[in-house]
Amino acid sequence: DSGVTQTPKHLITATGQRVTLRCSPRSGDLSVYWYQQSLDQGLQFLIQYYNGEERAKGNILERFSAQQFPDLHSELNLSSLELGDSALYFCASSGRGVGETQYFGPGTRLLVL
């Protein structure tokens, strides 16, 4: 158990819908990262938050957005869902960020039908 929690574990929805994925970092960690893992793209970095502020952006679609709240939990919002958005979404957390270990949560498996 990494200490990072994610909910829900599984999500099945239809195209065009909107979903919210939630992540709670390890106690004391200030940085939260979101990654998407699909069969054909591997593990892709989406976005990073540090202490409530966006710090780095990766290959995140405009239909996706995220935020980190004062209690440091983070939410990833996915809207106008397409079949290709089906993937495992992982959240990871670390201390300050650079040079620190990132611990991954169990992931949310999203299936868009």
List residues near other proteins by CB under 8 A.
Answer: 2, 31, 33, 35, 42-45, 48, 50, 55-56, 58, 88, 90, 94, 96-107, 109
Which parts of the chain fold into alpha helices (H)?
none
> Least distance (Å) from other proteins to the CB of residue 95?
9
Of 9 and 14, which has the nearer Cβ to other proteins? 9
Nearest CA to 32 out of 96, 79, 108 is that of: 96
Q: Is 23 within 8 Å of 73 (Cβ atoms)?
A: yes
Distance CA 82, CA 103 (A): 29
Of 14 and 49, which has the nearer Cβ to other proteins? 49
Of 14 and 42, which has the nearer Cβ to other proteins? 42
